[in-house]
Chain A
Amino acid sequence: MRDDPQSGPSNPTGRPFLQTARGTTAAAAVAECGPAHLNSTHGQNASPVEIADRPNIDRAVPITLRINGKDHQLRVDPRTTLLDCIRETVALTGTKKGCDHGQCGACTVHVNDRRVNSCLSLALMHDGEEITTIEGLGTPDTLHPLQAAFVACDGYQCGYCTSGQIMSGVALLKEPCGPDDAAVKELMSGNICRCGAYANIVAAIQQVRKNI
């Protein structure tokens, strides 16, 4: 990572690393696991039609998910959570799997502009709905103000919870929330950070709230 000119602070997403990893062992391991059809050669640009045409998914159901403004026509095993669908089927890996039981918030995405735990929801329940993930928030060149604030305030250490924290924080900006830090902490309590970057996360959110 350190030798990669695209990683580090100048590249807040770290995505080139993930794509490289996916092209090697990760894809080989995942491709045979039932509902997961992560296509290494196509990555997140995999053709929806190609995914839709894949055979041999037991009891597969066709759905259309509108993710970050783009329609994805998919066939999914009914058991597929929204989280696994986003990560493994659509190959948007910015959304993270932590506890997989709605206790940590790493999987937070927006459905119809409201933040939810994507691990406790089935992809099928969201047929036709509007989903926003961290990839739909900003780009490395044009960060969402809260993404920029996380960089400026050092709102992370390992970064694993960060996309969930930011998706939660962006939703909070539009929710009823008192002005003080305590109110922010209460509304961010569904996002756990094991590194303990809480103080800086609150500072990042407050920095954006003061500017809107």
Chain B
Amino acid sequence: MHTFEFVRPADSAAAVATAAQAKTAQQGADVRFVAGGTTLLDLMKLNVETPARLVDINRLPLDKIEATSDGGLKIGATVRNSDLARHPTVQRDYAVLSQAILAGASAQLRNMATTAGNLLQRTRCMYFRDTAMPCNKREPGTGCPAITGSNRMLAVLGTSEHCIATNPSDMCVAMAALEATIHVQGPNGTRPIPIGDFHLLPGSTPNRETVLEPGDLITHVTLPPPVAGSTQIYLKLRDRASYEFALASAAVVITLNGGKVTRARIALGGVGTKPWRSPEAEAALVGQAADTVAFRKAAEAAMRDAKPQSENGFKIELATRCLAHALQMAATS
């Protein structure tokens, strides 16, 4: 591991000022915020991340879960994943979020990992993690050996000729279906970012994963008020029963009335280069009878633009069945 300076800022403003000196907030950042450390320390040991300065935000007052005045929920940046998943309001009103978090990682990692850190979780693509290999995300312009190599776990949606790395988060998939907003404090003030705009598609710059700029500190996430009468399901399919990343997952928030779907919010995990909201599936569902035919059609709509790689073509049918089954579970729960 490269050596670094470890600083503990007195408040958020000091944290922002320190991080604002960085050249980039993306891959190769020379200043990093550290909270749980479960992604960052892992990648620093691999020399994939080599920050010269770590800004410890663990002792900033960003660890609260509070109701918002409009009936929604405010989740602090350093709220631990385990605390978020077990919070009574989250379990009651945002069950899909609780289920998604508990489907990810291990109990120890969930005790460490934070809300903001999970939003910034990095891909598990083995080429990204191995500095002996080329990787456009880690070293722009060096190529993507995954496209002709080992890509069974990698993405089929949102890929480019430069990168097919999967976003590994479960939490983000649920937050996409819940239409979360990410709140950032930066050198020029604060700004809200809808989660759909937060992560970037790889395109020709896979080293840029989010819209964050130097100094931008995620302070909290807000969820809109729960939708009365909605049912929520997170279904995750993986190679092991526990402690494994998704091959495909689906977050579903649907409302039924008189046997018809009146509202649907759908996002997929394990298949996209970012947490994958599917307006196509939502549009295909609303107004339809809540039956297996409609669920299958909606799931097929979600995967219509999927592009298989040499080893992961199975994910297209797997994700289709995953979403159709999640919808069926939500409709009958």
**Interchain CA distance A109-B58 in the complex, whole Å:** 19
Name the B residues within 8 Å of A119 (CB-CB): 41
Q: Which residues of chain A in 74-119 are interfacial with respect to chain B, using CB atoms and an 8 Å cutoff?
A: 77-79, 81, 100-102, 105, 108, 114-117, 119
B34 near A125 with CB under 8 A, answer yes
Name the B residues within 8 Å of A50 (CB-CB): none
B3 near A121 with CB under 8 A, answer no
A190 near B109 with CB under 8 A, answer yes
A117 near B3 with CB under 8 A, answer no
Name the B residues within 8 Å of A120 (CB-CB): 36-38, 41-42, 109, 112
Give min CB distance, A78 to chain B, whole Å. 4
Query: 0/1 per residue, B57-96, Cβ < 8 Å to A?
Result: 0100000000000000000000000100010000000000
Give min CB distance, B4 to chain A, whole Å. 6
Range, interface on chain B: 20 to 34
Give min CB distance, A54 to chain B, whole Å. 17
A81-B41, A114-B111, A125-B56 known; A190+B105 contact, CB < 8 A: yes
Chain A CB within 10 Å — which of B3, B38, B41, B54 has the most?
B41
The one of A61, A117, A122, A125 in contact with B108, judged by C-beta atoms closer than 8 angstroms, is A117
A70 contacts partner chain B, Cβ-Cβ < 8 Å = no
Give min CB distance, B190 to chain A, whole Å. 26
Q: Which residues of chain A in 150-174 are interfacial with respect to chain B, using CB atoms and an 8 Å cutoff?
A: 168, 171-172
Interface size on A, residues (CB 8 A): 34
Segment of A3-11, A16-24, A181-189, A202-210 in the binding face: A181-189
Chain A CB within 10 Å — which of B45, B82, B86, B111 has the most?
B111
**Interchain CA distance A211-B93 in the complex, whole Å:** 35
**Interchain CA distance A191-B30 in the complex, whole Å:** 33
**Interchain CA distance A199-B305 in the complex, whole Å:** 44
B14 contacts partner chain A, Cβ-Cβ < 8 Å = no
B243 contacts partner chain A, Cβ-Cβ < 8 Å = yes
B242 contacts partner chain A, Cβ-Cβ < 8 Å = yes
The one of B6, B38, B42, B107 in contact with A115, judged by C-beta atoms closer than 8 angstroms, is B107
B86 near A61 with CB under 8 A, answer no
A179 contacts partner chain B, Cβ-Cβ < 8 Å = no
Name the B residues within 8 Å of A61 (CB-CB): 6
B227 contacts partner chain A, Cβ-Cβ < 8 Å = no
B5 contacts partner chain A, Cβ-Cβ < 8 Å = yes
Name the A residues within 8 Å of B5 (CB-CB): 59, 78
Give min CB distance, B169 to chain A, whole Å. 16
**Interchain CA distance A101-B38 in the complex, whole Å:** 8
Name the B residues within 8 Å of A168 (CB-CB): 107-108
B108 near A79 with CB under 8 A, answer no
Give min CB distance, A96 to chain B, whole Å. 14
B37 near A125 with CB under 8 A, answer yes
**Interchain CA distance A100-B242 in the complex, whole Å:** 20
B1 contacts partner chain A, Cβ-Cβ < 8 Å = yes
The one of A77, A79, A102 in contact with B42, judged by C-beta atoms closer than 8 angstroms, is A102
The one of B34, B42, B106 in contact with A105, judged by C-beta atoms closer than 8 angstroms, is B106
A102 near B109 with CB under 8 A, answer yes
A178 contacts partner chain B, Cβ-Cβ < 8 Å = no
**Interchain CA distance A101-B129 in the complex, whole Å:** 12
The one of B37, B86, B105 in contact with A122, judged by C-beta atoms closer than 8 angstroms, is B37
Give min CB distance, B36 to chain A, whole Å. 8
Name the A residues within 8 Å of B105 (CB-CB): 190
Q: Which residue of A lies closest to B44 (CB)?
A: A79
The 10 closest A-B CB pairs, nearest first, are: A190-B106, A189-B242, A189-B243, A78-B6, A114-B111, A120-B41, A79-B1, A117-B108, A190-B108, A115-B108
14 contacts between A and B (CB under 8 A): A79-B4, A102-B42, A102-B108, A116-B111, A119-B41, A120-B112, A121-B41, A122-B41, A185-B242, A187-B107, A188-B107, A189-B243, A190-B243, A191-B106
- A residues near B (Cβ < 8 Å) are 58-59, 61, 77-79, 81, 100-102, 105, 108, 114-117, 119-122, 124-125, 168, 171-172, 175-176, 185-191
